[in-house]
Structure 1
Amino acid sequence: MTVIVEEPVFEVQENSKNISFDTNELVLDAGFVMPEPKLLVSDNGFSTPETNAFGKTFRDYDAESERKNAVEEFYKQNHIHQTVDFVKRMREDYKKLDKVEMSIWECCELLNTVVDESDPDLDEPQIEHLLQTAEAIRKDYPNEDWLHLTALIHDLGKVLVHPSFGELPQWAVVGDTFPVGCAYDESIVHHKYFKENPDHYNPAYNTKSGIYSQGCGLENVLVSWGHDDYMYLVAKENGTTLPPAALFVIRFHSFYALHKSGAYMHLLNDEDKENLKWLHVFNKYDLYSKSKVRVDVEKVKPYYLSLINKYFPSKLRW
């Protein structure tokens, strides 16, 4: 399978070396040839692919499909219930990491039972998506092993829907994320439902910066609770040696208002802006690798186990 990835050239300072990103050809091992992706470029210069590997549009929340109504209902519940108080309560509870003790790979296997109700494109077990994304990046960036592992683990937080982790409702686990404690940008999918969120009418929360200050850094911003923030906490609190860019990608890969639409840029500090370049790279693969092409798990497993051993302890607290 061949993917043509169009990426603006930019320089990223990572581990004291300059890495230049340019258009690359990505070859996967499944025998399919993918068409060149169409990119949508907004007025602020942010771009995202328009179609997936087989020419099918994705992240189209208005397209008629069997999943459309269910996805919209999901976002209604998400936008109503994700408040400042809820996010603070979830972060305080789950930061204890007292639910389960297991390895990264055990979590990957557990995630095989999860289907994301917020995704209008993907209706297959999550492990397929993780390996598709990781293998795609591995082919294009063979020397950035931290990015391969980041792709593998970026969605592991979705185990929050499992009984062992509290069996949270899907609206508290998946879907696009956004800051709470400040005004909801209109680029957020199904924005209209925020009118039913009590924070929408709180004068402390409904201005552009709300409870934050310009340039405060996303580390200091409360983002809607879900699998992104949870996996970030798991990795950080278990002492991972992954670089800061990896933790940024894990925590904000669902923050589409930022990395697709360019919203909330006023909250970023200089480190965030550098890490955002890596998130733009990652996002192309996170979206574009969605397909029905299967990955030979047993064939790639030894490689990913070696990365897990390199960057994580053998058992993690979850």
Structure 2
Amino acid sequence: MQASSSHHVASQLEETSDAIDEVNILRGRLWDDESEFDKEKDKAAFRDYDSACERVKAFYKEQHEKQTVAFNIQARVDFKTRKRARMGVWEAIELLNTLVDESDPDTSLTQIEHLLQTAEAIRRDGKPEWMQIAGLVHDLGKLLLIFGSEGQWDVVGDTFVIGCQFSDKIIYAETFENNPDSKDALYSTKYGIYKPNCGLDDVMLSWGHDEYLYNVFKDQSYLPAEALAMIRYHSFYPWHREGAYRHLTNEKDEEILNAVKAFNPYDLYSKSDERCDAEELRPYYESLIAKFFPPLIDW
């Protein structure tokens, strides 16, 4: 991917991602009361809801038509069999930064600064180191744009369960009408390919940067279950905000739900024009990276 082309594609991705975040901000808040940093933030300063909805609805129409069981199985086969890169976490952050540098329409910050804003907001609230590092790395799955994706629809956006009836709690649920799985004799049923209360560990979520990064880190990190859940489920709004899929979740999922809810305000509200000094903060976060990750990771 050439530099000018990659910046253009990345800019489009970030604009869509920002619009998705804005819609999620404005649709409702079920965040943990202990999130202090955003209490004074003017949430009305984010871009206009109506214009965001138009962009986001077009995005979700494509995503909802293309996220099928067949696609998701193939995406996981590709993940396990395709060689992408082998590098450390900070190197991955720097690689993502080259892709999306200057692409964000809301701020003048680099991607590294966005990641540091999230981590620093968590740090200021006195949250544990593992949560700080989850904030730092949670968007690294957007490297899919470099490693190979079909488009924006399999990188960003709210996630949902594949292989059973599409929940009416999913944003713009009516746009699933052209997804072939919605008419499949098995996939369109309440439980589909799953057993009652099988647990989310055994459920296939729509493929994107969250699911990809979770699969990278689950066997190549020392992160606790709560941090992995924050990475995997923070875009799983039908579950953690709307209460869907309780017929598939188990006791373990209910225990980690509070951790996922606690993370989301940092994901949504930490972006601002207040700059972070990446070079000054780098030694601290590299020390955390060394605690929770091996020196090199297969991406």
Identity of aligned residues (%): 48
- Matched to 1:131, the amino acid is L
Name which of structure 1's ranges 283-292 and 169-178 shifts more when overlaid on structure 2.
Answer: 283-292
Residue 140 (str. 1) matches residue 125 (str. 2): yes
Letter of the aligned partner of 2:124 in structure 1? K
Alignment partner, residue 170 of structure 2: 188
Counterpart CA distance in 2 for 1:227 and 1:105 is: 17
1:308 aligned partner, one-letter code: I
Q: Following TM superposition, by how much is the alpha carbon of 1:69 offset from its aligned partner in structure 2, in angstroms?
A: 3.6
Say yes or no: does 1:105 pair with 2:90.
yes
- Amino acid aligned to 2:229: F
| TM-score, L = length of structure 1 | 0.77
Q: CA deviation at 1:215?
A: 1.3
1:153-172 correspondence to structure 2 within 5 Å: 153-162=137-146, 165-172=147-154
Whether 1:277 and 2:265 are equivalent positions in the alignment is: no
Question: Matched residues in 2 for 1:95 and 1:207: separation?
Answer: 29
Gaps of 5+ in 2: 1-28
State the SS of the aligned residue for 1:88. helix
Please tell me whether the aligned partners of residues 160 and 167 of structure 1 are also in contact (alpha carbons under 8 angstroms): yes
- The C-alpha deviation readout for 1:223-281, integer Å capped at 9, x for no partner, is 1000111101111232x111111111111111011111111122111111111110010
1:131, 1:212 → 2: CA distance? 38
Deviation beyond 4 Å, 4+ runs, structure 1: 5-8, 57-60, 119-125
Q: Which has the higher contact order (CA 8 A, sep 6+)?
A: 2
Contact 1:68 1:120 in 2 (8 A): no
Equivalents in 1 of 2:35, 2:234: separation in Å?
A: 22
User: Does residue 64 of the first structure (1) align with residue 45 of the second (2)?
Assistant: no
RMSD, aligned CA: 2.6
1:199 aligns with 2:181: yes
Instruction: Give 3-state SS (helix, strand or coil) of 1:295's partner.
Output: coil
Distance verdict in 2 for CA 1:148–1:59, change over 3 Å: farther
Gaps in structure 1 of 5+ consecutive residues = 9-21, 27-33, 37-52
Q: Which amino acid aligns with 1:114?
A: V
After alignment, is 299-308 or 105-114 more displaced?
105-114
Which structure is higher in strand share? 1
User: Which position in structure 2 is the counterpart of 1:74?
Assistant: 59
Q: Aligned equivalents of 1:180 and 1:123: distance in 2?
A: 37
What amino acid maps onto 1:179 in structure 2?
V
SS in 2 for 1:265: coil
For 1:87 and 1:160, the matched residues in 2 are separated by 14
Structure 1 23/251 Cα, relative in aligned 2: closer, same or farther at 3 Å? closer
CA distance in 2, matches of 1:255, 1:305: 29
Residues 1:208 and 1:81: Cα distance change in structure 2 (over 3 Å): same
Q: How many matched pairs?
A: 269
1:1-318 residue pairs with structure 2 within 5 A?
23=34, 25-26=36-37, 35-36=39-40, 53-56=41-44, 63-65=49-51, 67-96=52-81, 98-112=83-97, 113-114=99-100, 126-142=111-127, 144-162=128-146, 165-238=147-220, 240-318=221-299
Q: TM-score, normalised by structure 2?
A: 0.82
- Match of 1:111, SS state, is helix
Check conservation: 1:58, 1:120, Cα contact below 8 A: no
